[in-house]
Structure 1
Amino acid sequence: MLNQKNKSQHLATISLAVMAIGFLSTLPIRDSLWGIILQGGFEAGLVGGLADWFAVTALFRHPLGIPIPHTALLPKNRKRIVAGIISMLENDWLTKESIRKKIETINFSKRLFEIIDKEIYSKSVQKNIIILIQHLINTVNTKSIAPIIEKELKSQLNKLDSKNYLPLMIDQISERKYDEKTLDYILKEINEWAEKDSTKYKLGGLAVDAVENIKADGFMQFALKSFSNLVNEEKLGNIIQGLILKGVDSYRNPFNQNRQTLMIHIRNKLQSIKSDEKIYDELNQLKTHLITKWEPEEQIVSLLDQLKQKASDFVENPSFSEDYLLPIIINGLGHIKEDSEKVVAFETWIKQHVSSFIDKNHSRIGKLVEENLERLDDKTLINMVETNVGKDLQWIRVNGAVCGFLIGLVLVGIKAFL
């Protein structure tokens, strides 16, 4: 660009020099007709070239350093020119309305999907996504999240109403015959306890003490005394032990009438619990008490740390990108593309945010231009303008000289003819 500027300046200077040399060279032959005509042409070309040189130079600086009025227009009117440029940008070229209209013609979602489809298979992009995922995993503060999870967990548990679950539990007890299994277990434990010799002697001793402590008068006291002399702890223990074992054995028989009656009674009691409000109140109070006393924060932190470590190890796996990351992204994009409503909503969301950004920052366009121009001193700004438009300005000088020469020829020719 600078070379073009220098070439244009040289060409303009050469054209001016040609006119000056031509004017001087025609002085000796000015008495002839052609001398008069050529001298008039070169004279007019010299005047035109000088006039245009003065005009072009006056735009940027004082010609020959002389502070002639209405010269050095750019330095003197810098602020006004900058304000005009800013006003033109904001109000004519880059108005909010024109930018919005341009935004409306752009299909952001389509271009974004095209970029993702093209770049998603790039190893560098996949690596950066994995780095981002790892960074997000590592930035998770489990200690700060644990209280939130604990609060939410307790809140959800408090919402559980025993009326919704206790009837189901009771029905499952009957369907799975847990009541019979419980009775069989109790009978088994009683049977094992009753079969022990220590149990036999304990029961016999308790029976003897009970007989001896019975208070009676007359014949009844004589009868009890005689009975106590006939039996001892072992005999009474054997009798009671046998009765218990026999009773337990009879209840263990599924066809025993007493067992069946007992089971009916148990099941009726279980069914009656379903409508017992006191039991529900007790269960809810117990639940609330247990939840209040429960402090699972340490367990939650430990669990989150384990999950965090497993997630980090999983992401670092070499097969994660091809086996999991790519399929997830591709399938997700595919579902979004197929859903026209989501695409339209996404496109609308993007354009709304872009328009909002433009509304908030439109005034900064002018400020940005102003700030950049203010960083330039007058000399740098003039050199920049001359470098970019100097070629055309120098051609004004060339054209001035050439046009002046041609017009001079015509005018002198007309004058000579007349």
Structure 2
Amino acid sequence: MLSFLEDKDNRTQQAGLTRMRTYATTLLAFVTAIFAFAVWGLETWPWLAPVKAFAEAALVGGVADWFAVTALFRRPFGLPIPHTAVIPRNHGRIAAAIGRFVADNLLASQALAQCLEELDTAGRLGRWLGQPDTRPMIAARIAGSLPPIVYTIGEERWRDAIGGGLRKVVDTAITGPRMAHILSYIVGRGYHHAIMDYLVTEARSFVAQNRPFIHKKVAKECPEWLPLWVETQIAQGVSHGIDGSLAELTSHDHPWRRKFEMFLHETIDGMAHAPFFAQRIEDVKRQVLGDPAVDDYLQQIGASAYAHLMGGAETVETVIEGALREISRRLEHDPAMRASLNRWLRDAAEALLVPRRELIGSLITDLVMRWRTAVLIEKLENHVGKDLQYIRINGTVVGGLVGLVIYAVTSLVRH
């Protein structure tokens, strides 16, 4: 697909260059014909003198700019004229300059970060996945390639691979320092307040829904001689008291919240540095991952995934397309997710590219050096040649106008 797009772009550029070169050459031929006609008919029609001056200067300007443009890429008429074929003679210097430019400018940390920030990769991805034809195409290709691969692996090895992969993910991801980092991120951005608010809301809802149960428990603890209406008043007081205490927790200045935050900071410090925490986490992981029921469950996940993948491309395609649709929707309507993904891509690109920018620059230099000189000329001429043909056109027109001005000034001085 990429090669097709590049070929199409090259053809478009080549067509534009050919069109502008034809315009410039036609204009040069036109002023040449005017100059020849003016020289031929000057004695008969003296009024052709300014026309001759214009055409003569335009011809000189057009030829000079044709020579200058041509000399960049090749020798005019194949003649060994000094300081022509500038690009072929400086192939190595151009390759080194391109490599240095990419390494020192495009891959510099600040420039790369700014470029990636402006690019909005996540937004572009969301819009691309949001196109009606994109999701079915991607889903069909993935769904068509997965079953043969999974079948080649085999069901038993697939189940073992799924189970082993999940075990490895859990074993690698859940460590003391990693858990401390995650918890520190949550606390540092104030998300623990949102968690507390959610727990308080759920607790108040639980109390409201279970008032009869609370009344029953309170009545059971009250003395038998106590009147029923007194038991009811006590039960209602307990319910209201619990609800009121929970309502007070919604204030971020509540002492319990500060104690909760202190507890989280102590936990973070312990997870990051205390051997006891690390050992406790490892013990829990061994207990969980060593449980036969967990092993059976992981095997079931692997078997279920194998059955779904081998159950037919249509089922897999539907699942993949649904996942892509959800990703597209989230990227389009969730600015926080979009910003987070952009930040992750930017950090990943910086971490991957910036430390290796000298290597990348040298690879680009080597790539350009490996191009045949004819290929380098073709690429450069396709990209800038169209603008250079404008220079030829401008040189012809401006040269003619300058010649006309010189003729006018000379005529005024003579008279």
Normalising TM by the smaller chain, what interval? 0.3 to 0.5
Q: Given the two structures, how large is their TM-score scaled by the length of structure 2?
A: 0.47
Q: Given the two structures, how large is their TM-score scaled by the length of structure 1?
A: 0.47
Greater Rg over alpha carbons, structure: 1
